[in-house]
Amino acid sequence: MFLPTSLATILVLAAIVALGPLSTDMYLPALPRLTTELNASIDQVQVTLSIFFGGFAVAQLLYGPLADRFGRKSVLLGGLVLFTAASFGCATASTIEELIMFRFLQALGACGGPVLGRTMIRDIYGPTQSARVLSMMATIMALAPAVAPIIGGYMLLAFDWSAIFIFLGVYGVIVTLIILFKVQESLQPENVNSLHPLVIMKNYGQLLRSRIFLGYTLCCSFIFAGLFSFLSGSSFVLIDFFGVSETNYGFYFTAVVMGYMAGSQLGQRFGPRLGINKMLIMGTSVGAVAGTLMLTASLLEMHNLYWVIGCQVFFMMAVGIVMPQAMAGAMGPFSKMAGTASALLGFTQSAIAAVVGLIVGHSHTGSPTVMAASISLMGILAVVSYLLIIKPITTEIKTH
């Protein structure tokens, strides 16, 4: 068994948190091809992304309370088994409807990774050190979305799109075995929570009444929705509008992910010194400015591939700064129901992303404008969440 505080444990938890990015980013280069091979519209193909985040959102509300009652490890293993089976199911889909169904089931299994990975970090490191470790884990985890589109693009040269989902199924098998034999349970006996419906509703009610929880959660969710706007529109904008090849798409995506890794490293280095809130205002401001610059160029019809990628690199830097800090801030005060807090945070994050993704897909006009407008709006809303909710509360706490 790995020691709970060992680097090996952090690497494994990063691998399970990466289930979400891997499940979306690896097949992004295949989205335009799916419209012809499955005889589907762009709207229908993008539903395979949004339905994933819809399933991600709903299932997290169950994972949290279950993990607070039965432990993190057993619940996580159940989710991994479902993810693995659904991934192989996606590979066998012959219609867009079948793919959408299996993507939903894949999401139900995959969402256990982020929920319980964050929760286990909170269990092991507590409220003060978890932001630093989450930033470290985010840097490691960023390798997955950095290489996933490249792997997916080159797999499309040699194989059918279904090979991407076979790869995800094999990944699920490997991670399941490592969790089963090498990772220890992190839930302490004194923190075991009741699974009674009234207790669950009471816990969720306590979280929803907490302005500090809502502020950090909304800040995290809006910045993530900006990222998802790029995921929803980038393959069509880069491949169809700018003429980027399926194989080269992954390299542009990797450049964007490098921004995320840089932001995560900034959070890891300066977060303990500056504190969560200073990092948040810095990160959300960078995101709002980057998104607005991308939108301005598009509205002026100054369409340039490198400008779009450059703006998104800075937006992703903001995502890397904001998300680990906001997650730690949201879960910090709730040690006895960390799983439930992580679940509600994840539900909110995924639900907003799913809605934004549907809007981007439905409104897509071929140019970068719709994608850029959504990225800009989400960055601005993240700033507003900090200024209107988080800052007044923390100022009030300091004065008492």
Residue 147 lies in a domain: yes
Q: How many residues does the chain have?
A: 400
Provide the pLDDT for residue 395: 62
Cα-based distances in Å from 353 to 175, 277, 375:
26, 23, 11
Contact 229, 122 (CB under 8 A): no
Ordered alpha helix ranges (H), 93-245? 96-110, 112-141, 143-158, 162-182, 197-208, 211-235
Cα-based distances in Å from 246 to 31, 103, 150, 252, 269:
10, 22, 9, 11, 36
Residue 189 lies in a domain: no
Residue 213's Cα: distance from chain center in Å?
Answer: 18
Name the average pLDDT for the chain: 87
Residue 1 lies in a domain: no
The enclosing domain of 71 has a CATH number of 1.20.1250.20
| Pair of tokens at residue 100 | 């959408």
Residue 79 burial (10 A CB sphere; 0-12, 13-18, 19+): buried
Provide the pLDDT for residue 394: 66
Provide the pLDDT for residue 133: 83
Residue 2 lies in a domain: no
Residues in CB range of 183: below 8 A, 6 or more apart: 1, 2, 9, 12, 13, 73
Provide the pLDDT for residue 85: 97
Residue 279 lies in a domain: yes
| H or E element in which residue 243 lies | none
Total domain count, the chain: 1
Instruction: For residue range 223-280, list pLDDT tens digits in order.
Output: 999 998 998 888 888 988 999 988 888 889 888 988 988 998 898 888 888 888 999 9
| Pair of tokens at residue 399 | 């004065």
Residue 48 lies in a domain: yes
| Pair of tokens at residue 127 | 């409220």
Residue 63 lies in a domain: yes
Structural domain that includes position 99: 7-181+194-399
Query: Residue 195 and residue 63: Cα distance in Å, rounded?
Result: 11
Query: Residue 191 and residue 123: Cα distance in Å, rounded?
Result: 10
Average pLDDT rounded to a whole number, residues 313-336: 89
Instruction: For residue range 191-237, list pLDDT tens digits in order.
Output: 676 667 777 788 889 999 999 999 999 999 999 999 989 988 888 88
Query: Residue 254 and residue 260: Cα distance in Å, rounded?
Result: 10
Residue 187 lies in a domain: no
